[in-house]
């Protein structure tokens, strides 16, 4: 009986030692078991570039008072949205008024030193008035990557207190439709 007890003690001690060794090296084994994977993300992108840098109303010749001028005679403007990844709405706004003249407010017609801008995407079958400090959607739901053409109409003041050239800044922007 003494020999069998001895074998059991040796086997138990050996089993404990093997268990301790495995416990000591197993974190090292677990630490080396890593894997990597790739995550691909594409964000929505909105782009709108007006291809024409400017419009010289009446080709730089002084405008007549109480007269409308438009870009439909070959001067149609182009909004390039070819790199947009989502449908957009095209917006125009007067962001800098003329030195002496000011824009008419909603529905108002031109008056002394007061002009009006309208925009259209269908050669003025319909149009919207562009205002100072107010974003006006001129085309909604332009498909991703599709360009949009539009026209402007400038209604000159009924009279003016100056003969100095006036410069007006329109800003185009796009938002997700």
pLDDT at 157 over 80: yes
pLDDT of 57 reads 92
Tell me how many domains the chain contains.
Answer: 2
Domain assignment present for residue 104? The answer is yes
Domain assignment present for residue 138? The answer is yes
CA-CA distances (angstroms) from residue 152 to 57, 70, 107, 141?
10, 5, 16, 20
Dihedral sign from CA coordinates of 55, 57, 59, 62? negative
Q: Are 80 and 121 in contact (CB under 8 A)?
A: no
pLDDT of 82 reads 87
Separation of first and last alpha carbons in the chain: 90
72 and 128 in a common domain: yes
pLDDT 10s digits, 31-42: 567 888 899 998
Residue span of the structural domain in which 15 resides: 1-34
82 and 22 in a common domain: no
Domain assignment present for residue 40? The answer is no
pLDDT 10s digits, 87-117: 999 999 999 989 999 999 877 889 999 999 9
Q: Measure the CA–CA gap between 123 and 50, rounded to whole angstroms.
A: 18
72 and 21 in a common domain: no
Q: Measure the CA–CA gap between 101 and 6, rounded to whole angstroms.
A: 111
Dihedral sign from CA coordinates of 150, 155, 160, 163? positive
CA dihedral 53, 58, 61, 67 (to 10 degrees): -140
Domain assignment present for residue 41? The answer is no
Domain assignment present for residue 121? The answer is yes
Q: Tokens 């790739």 sit at which residue?
A: 38
CATH at 86 = 2.60.40
Domain assignment present for residue 17? The answer is yes
pLDDT at 75 over 80: no
pLDDT of 70 reads 92
pLDDT of 5 reads 53
Q: Measure the CA–CA gap between 151 and 57, rounded to whole angstroms.
A: 12
- Kind of pairing, strands 49-50 and 102-103? unpaired
Q: Are 81 and 145 in contact (CB under 8 A)?
A: yes
Can you give the pTM of this predicted structure?
Answer: 0.76
Domain assignment present for residue 44? The answer is no
């Amino acid at each position: 009986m003494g020999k069998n007890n001895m074998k059991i003690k040796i086997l138990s001690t050996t089993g404990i030692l093997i268990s301790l060794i495995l416990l000591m090296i197993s974190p090292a084994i677990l630490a080396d078991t890593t894997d990597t994977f790739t995550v691909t993300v594409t964000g929505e992108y909105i782009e709108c570039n007006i291809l024409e840098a400017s419009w010289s109303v009446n080709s730089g010749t002084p405008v007549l008072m109480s007269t409308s001028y438009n870009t439909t005679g070959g001067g149609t403007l182009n909004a390039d949205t070819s790199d947009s990844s989502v449908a957009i709405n095209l917006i125009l706004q007067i962001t800098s008024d003329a030195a002496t003249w000011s824009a008419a407010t909603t529905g108002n017609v031109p008056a002394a030193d007061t002009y009006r801008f309208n925009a259209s995407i269908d050669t003025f079958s319909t149009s919207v008035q562009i205002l100072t400090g107010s974003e006006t959607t001129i085309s909604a739901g332009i498909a991703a990557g599709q360009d949009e053409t539009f026209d402007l109409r400038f209604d000159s003041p009924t009279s003016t207190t100056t003969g100095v050239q006036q410069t007006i800044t329109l800003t185009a922007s796009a938002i997700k439709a």
